[in-house]
Homo-oligomer: A and B are copies of this chain.
Amino acid sequence: MARKKKYNEDEVIEKAMHLFWRNGYAATSMQMLEKEMGINKFSIYASFGNKHGLFLKSIQCYKKQLNSIFEAFKNSNKGIEDIKDFFYNSVRICQIEGNQKGCLLTNTYNEFSGIEDKQINELMNSFMKDLKELFIQKLRMNSKKDEETIVKQANYLLLAKHGLAAASRVNNEKEIEDYIEMTFKNL
């Protein structure tokens, strides 16, 4: 019937994601996105609705990239050791391209914590809930912990992930390793 798109939506959304990741939502303008994505503003709006929609798609794109390590995480049965691997893998993902941008999800959680945004908040809460549930499952695998301890440790790990995001911005492999090892020392 008509023309085909010159660009691939998955490719340009990944570029958008990296820009949001680096600068945060508020500090990223459509002009910057236009340049980074290499397509016209109109095309962005045609494909993704608006800036907010583009951001949501960017987060989904990030979660998709995370999914590879998430699947490995789910399908293993080594308990706490799996969580530790997950931490190491998470920090590795945050360091691609030599960046020190932390974790996009954690950054978003931080940026929107004082701001009411139903869609973002739902997205973040469901992610945190899923992650906590996974932590609990893994923690249950090891030894003879009571349920109270398990929940306590899962909460601890969920918050420790914020420290991990900060760690991933440190340009020092040793420091990162130290942080992770210290975190898991007493579980």
Chain A residues within CB distance 8 Å of chain B: 21-24, 26-27, 99-102, 107, 109-111, 113-115, 152-153, 155-156, 159-167, 169-170, 175, 178-179, 182-183, 185-186
Contact = CB atoms under 8 A, between A and B. Distances in A.
A170 B152 CA distance: 14
Given A23-B115, A159-B163, A162-B163, 4 more contacts: A24-B24, A24-B114, A110-B110, A162-B165
Contacts of A27: 26, 111, 115
Contacts of A100: 113-114
Q: Most B CB atoms within 10 A — which of A115, A164, A183?
A: A183
Please give the count of copies of this chain that the complex contains.
2
B178 A182 contact: no
A176 to B, nearest CB: 9
Nearest to A113: B169
A67 B178 CA distance: 29
A109 B111 CA distance: 11
Given A111-B111, A114-B23, A163-B162, A156 B169 contact: no
Given A102-B110, A113-B100, A115-B27, A179 B163 contact: no
